[in-house]
């Protein structure tokens, strides 16, 4: 069969001669295909059977409801000749195909649709460490009629994946990290969305709060999902905006939320920030192509969300927060945004450590004890109360307080800031660091970057909770050098909180409440990630 690999310009896209080929995806190595298709994988009604050239071999190809299978066509074996081995069968699952295009060659003088070469399948491959990769498989056949039948059948199959988005609202923050978000989107994300046939409407934000203002009133009925290209602050703002929009649509008052309404559209996170905690926690790695393919494939993951409120007023929806050292560090970093992201982060950490001081707090929390944890604690001879409706209170001098509904993975904490927490296990991790010496506190911080237990210190306590109330007992507020302008004027009665990497000034008492599975994010299941057990000295 003619291969049609020489001369002219080759494109896998349908359309006129001016249409360029899509960005080259790595051809699928034969070693990645699973040979010897198992009976359960081969199950399903056979839809089509035909001959295509795959690689450099003519193959017998069978398309069923669940898989595309093929094997090389071997010449008839001579009698008594045993040198011909049994044909190796290879396959891909239909659910891993995210687009199909007609493959054509265009010459400079050619008019019309060009010369048909066959069909190109665009495939999502699973790699190691939760990484996804796009690839292609060419089915070469020069028959227009033959390819048309197969092309229409592939399109019909792909149309059956109703969970895959067809139209997306994209929010892009051009100021994220090193101002790379625009380049990341148009070079890595947009080409894949275009290949998948997904329509996009892109808004480039121009100021802080732009995404919130936009999503508050814009029409979202025509979209299947929202995508945020940026860092943790941008992603948190978009998630907050979607949840506020859901409360508005449900006719709920945001200042008296007992059971908030779920976000109506799933949110996709494209990591383009400096730490990318949200995307890292969702996908296991801050990988742009992986995040994009999860969106294209329609992988949905429900995620728990917290409400942060003070004196009956909702501050915001969020996934994690830090008060004390974490809040002060962010406040100082925000004051020095003229520095590069890494510079201001290191500067803020060093200066906050140099002026390390505790906060006088009273922390009340509602324990959330799973039956599994209860059995483990009893086995260890340290049973906790079976009751989960009794508030407990601790008080004293605290260097840092962390409240996290997600694991909070990032490059400096590969196991996560809260490694025992999951995306949707219905609980939060409360981690409190009591007053201690600066060297001991630094040891605790350094443990996040290692495989050792960062909580194995006498001054660190961890709890699994459903609600937390943090009350600041002194009114010293922030160091005037750490904030500027309006923040400095308000520092006497407000305190800096780091909520999802965004600086929030709050009053002396903040209530944090968990709401299970309140938003859906595009991403894979965290159960696929390597679980690491962490023990806490307080249990």
Report the relative pairing of strands 57-64 and 199-204 from DSSP bridges. unpaired
Residue spans of beta strands (DSSP E) within 368-484: 392-404, 428-434, 460-472
- List all residues 6 or more positions away from 69 whose beta carbon is below 8 Å from its beta carbon: 37, 42, 61, 62, 63, 89, 90, 91
- Greatest mean pLDDT among 128-137, 211-220, 289-298, 335-344: 289-298
Per-residue pLDDT tens for 495-509?
Answer: 899 999 888 888 889
Q: Does 11 map to a domain?
A: no
Where does the pLDDT of residue 475 fall: very low under 50, low under 70, confident under 90, or very high at 90 and above? low
Q: Could you tell me if 404 and 456 lie in one domain? A: yes
Which is more confident, 312 or 386?
312
CATH of the domain at 242: 3.40.50.10330
The answer, yes or no, to whether residue 391 has pLDDT greater than 80, is yes
Q: What is the DSSP string of 66-115?
A: SEEEEEE-PPPPPTT---SPPPPPEEEEGGGEEEEEEEEEE-TT--TT-E
Give 401's strand partners.
Answer: 323, 432
Q: Could you tell me if 449 and 317 lie in one domain? A: yes
Q: Could you tell me if 136 and 240 lie in one domain? A: no
Contact 221, 214 (CB under 8 A): no
Residue 414: its pLDDT value, please?
A: 81
pTM: 0.82
Distance CA(306)–CA(405), nearest Å, equals 7
- Cα–Cα distances in angstroms (integers) from residue 327 to residues 11, 321, 493, in the given order: 52, 8, 15
Q: Does 2 map to a domain?
A: no
Q: Which residue is associated with the tokens 């092309």?
A: 151
Q: Does 16 map to a domain?
A: no
Q: Which of 102, 126, 160 is the last residue of a domain?
A: 160
Q: Does 5 map to a domain?
A: no
In the chain, the N- to C-terminal Cα span, in Å, equals 70
Report the relative pairing of strands 428-434 and 267-271 from DSSP bridges. unpaired
Residue 269: its pLDDT value, please?
A: 95
Express as a percent the part of the chain with pLDDT over 70. 77
Per-residue pLDDT tens for 2-40?
Answer: 333 333 444 444 433 333 444 444 444 443 344 344 444
Q: Could you tell me if 283 and 331 lie in one domain? A: no
The dihedral formed by the CA atoms of 463, 469, 473 and 479, expressed in degrees to the nearest 10: 90
Q: Does 531 map to a domain?
A: no
The answer, yes or no, to whether residue 493 has pLDDT greater than 60, is no
Q: Which of 160, 185, 219 is the last residue of a domain?
A: 160
The three-point CA angle 304-166-208 to 5° equals 55
Residue 81: its pLDDT value, please?
A: 55
How many domains, the chain? 3
The answer, yes or no, to whether residue 386 has pLDDT greater than 90, is no
Residue 107: its pLDDT value, please?
A: 74
The answer, yes or no, to whether residue 173 has pLDDT greater than 50, is yes
Residue 178: its pLDDT value, please?
A: 76
Per-residue pLDDT tens for 86-104?
Answer: 568 899 999 999 999 999 8
The answer, yes or no, to whether residue 321 has pLDDT greater than 70, is yes
Q: Does 65 map to a domain?
A: yes
Task: Give 138-191 as a 3 state SS string.
Answer: EEECCCHHHHHHHHHHHHHHHHCCCCCCCEEEEEECCCCCCCCHHHHHHHHHHH
Where does the pLDDT of residue 251 fall: very low under 50, low under 70, confident under 90, or very high at 90 and above? confident
- Cα–Cα distances in angstroms (integers) from residue 217 to residues 242, 246, 249, in the given order: 11, 11, 11
Task: Indicate the range of 318-327, 363-372, 443-452 predicted with least confidence.
Answer: 363-372
Q: What is the DSSP string of 198-249?
A: -EEEEEE--STTHHHHHHHHS--TT-SEEEEEE-HHHHHHHHHHHHHHHHHH
Structure tokens at 194: 């275009």
What is the arithmetic mean of pLDDT over 308-317?
A: 88
Q: Does 524 map to a domain?
A: no
Which is more confident, 110 or 267?
267
Q: Could you tell me if 239 and 150 lie in one domain? A: no
Residue 16: its pLDDT value, please?
A: 37
What is the arithmetic mean of pLDDT over 278-293?
A: 92
Q: Could you tell me if 322 and 451 lie in one domain? A: yes
Residue 102: its pLDDT value, please?
A: 93
Q: What phi and psi, each to the nearest 5 degrees, are found at residue 161?
A: -85, 85
Distance CA(233)–CA(231), nearest Å, equals 6
Contact 435, 459 (CB under 8 A): yes
Q: Could you tell me if 171 and 156 lie in one domain? A: no
- Cα–Cα distances in angstroms (integers) from residue 348 to residues 327, 329, 354, in the given order: 11, 5, 10
Q: Give, as one character, the DSSP assignment of residue 297.
A: H
The answer, yes or no, to whether residue 278 has pLDDT greater than 70, is yes
Q: Could you tell me if 265 and 327 lie in one domain? A: no
Contact 120, 100 (CB under 8 A): yes
Residue 66: its pLDDT value, please?
A: 92
Per-residue pLDDT tens for 123-142?
Answer: 999 988 889 999 999 999 99
CATH of the domain at 117: 2.30.29.30
Residue 24: its pLDDT value, please?
A: 40
- Cα–Cα distances in angstroms (integers) from residue 154 to residues 23, 97, 116, in the given order: 21, 9, 17
Q: Could you tell me if 333 and 432 lie in one domain? A: yes
The answer, yes or no, to whether residue 1 has pLDDT greater than 60, is no
Which is more confident, 345 or 165?
165
Range of the domain at 287: 167-298
Residue 67: its pLDDT value, please?
A: 94
The answer, yes or no, to whether residue 536 has pLDDT greater than 70, is no
Contact 174, 204 (CB under 8 A): yes
Q: What phi and psi, each to the nearest 5 degrees, are found at residue 20?
A: -85, 160
Q: Could you tell me if 266 and 323 lie in one domain? A: no
Q: Does 67 map to a domain?
A: yes
- List all residues 6 or more positions away from 161 whose beta carbon is below 8 Å from its beta carbon: 95, 298
CA 311 to chain centre: 33
Where does the pLDDT of residue 432 fall: very low under 50, low under 70, confident under 90, or very high at 90 and above? very high
Where does the pLDDT of residue 284 fall: very low under 50, low under 70, confident under 90, or very high at 90 and above? confident
Task: Indicate the range of 215-229, 264-278, 486-500, 504-518 predicted with least confidence.
Answer: 486-500
The answer, yes or no, to whether residue 280 has pLDDT greater than 60, is yes
CATH of the domain at 415: 2.60.200.40
Q: Which of 265, 298, 331 is the last residue of a domain?
A: 298
What is the arithmetic mean of pLDDT over 457-463?
A: 92
Which is more confident, 338 or 493?
338
The answer, yes or no, to whether residue 227 has pLDDT greater than 90, is yes
Q: Could you tell me if 280 and 358 lie in one domain? A: no
Q: Could you tell me if 273 and 317 lie in one domain? A: no
Residue 111: its pLDDT value, please?
A: 67
């Amino acid at each position: 069969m003619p291969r049609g690999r020489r001369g002219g310009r080759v494109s896998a896209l349908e359309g006129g001669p001016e249409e360029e080929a899509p960005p080259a995806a790595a051809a699928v190595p034969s070693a990645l295909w699973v040979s010897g298709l198992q009976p359960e994988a081969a199950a399903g009604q056979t839809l089509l059977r035909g001959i295509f050239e795959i690689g450099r071999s003519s193959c017998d190809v069978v398309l069923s409801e669940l898989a595309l299978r093929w094997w090389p066509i071997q010449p008839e074996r001579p009698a008594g000749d045993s040198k011909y081995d049994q044909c190796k069968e290879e396959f891909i699952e239909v659910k891993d195909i995210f687009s199909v295009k007609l493959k054509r060659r265009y010459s400079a003088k050619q008019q019309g649709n060009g010369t048909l070469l066959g069909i190109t399948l665009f495939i999502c491959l699973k790699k190691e460490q939760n990484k996804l990769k796009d690839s292609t498989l060419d089915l070469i056949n020069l028959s227009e009629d033959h390819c048309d039948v197969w092309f229409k059948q592939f399109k019909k199959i792909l149309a059956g994946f109703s969970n895959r988005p067809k139209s997306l609202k994209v929010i892009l923050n051009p100021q994220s990290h090193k101002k790379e978000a625009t380049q990341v989107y148009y070079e890595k994300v947009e080409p894949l969305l275009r290949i998948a046939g997904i329509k996009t409407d892109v808004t480039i934000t121009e100021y802080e709060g732009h995404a919130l203002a936009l999503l508050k009133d814009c029409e979202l009925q025509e979209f299947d999902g929202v995508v945020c290209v940026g860092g943790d602050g941008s992603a948190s703002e978009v998630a907050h905006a979607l949840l506020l929009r859901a409360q508005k649509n449900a006719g709920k008052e945001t200042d008296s939320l007992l059971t908030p309404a779920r976000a109506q559209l799933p949110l996709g996170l494209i990591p383009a920030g400096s730490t990318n905690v949200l995307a890292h926690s969702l996908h296991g790695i801050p990988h742009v192509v992986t995040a994009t393919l999860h969106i294209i494939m329609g992988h949905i993951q429900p995620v728990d969300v917290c409400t942060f409120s003070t004196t009956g007023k909702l501050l915001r929806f969020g996934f994690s927060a830090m008060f004390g050292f974490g809040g002060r560090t962010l406040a100082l970093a925000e004051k020095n945004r003229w520095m590069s992201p890494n510079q201001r982060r290191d500067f803020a950490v060093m200066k906050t450590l140099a002026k390390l001081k505790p906060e006088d707090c009273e922390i009340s929390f509602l324990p959330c004890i799973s039956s599994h944890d209860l059995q483990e604690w009893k086995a260890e001879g340290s049973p906790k109360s079976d009751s989960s409706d009794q508030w407990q209170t601790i008080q004293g001098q605290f260097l840092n307080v962390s409240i996290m509904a997600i694991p909070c993975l990032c490059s400096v904490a590969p196991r996560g800031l809260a490694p025992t927490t999951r995306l949707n296990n219905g609980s939060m991790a409360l981690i409190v660091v009591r007053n201690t010496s600066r060297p001991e506190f630094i040891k605790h911080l350094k443990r996040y970057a290692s495989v050792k237990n960062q909580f194995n210190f006498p001054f660190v306590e961890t709890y699994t909770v459903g609600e937390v109330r943090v009350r600041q007992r002194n009114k010293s507020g922030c160091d005037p050098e750490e904030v500027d302008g309006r923040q400095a004027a308000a520092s006497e009665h407000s305190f800096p909180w780091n909520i999802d990497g965004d600086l929030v000034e709050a009053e002396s008492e903040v209530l944090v409440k968990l709401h299970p599975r309140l938003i859906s994010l595009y991403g894979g299941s965290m159960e696929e990630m390597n679980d690491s057990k962490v023990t806490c000295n307080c249990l």
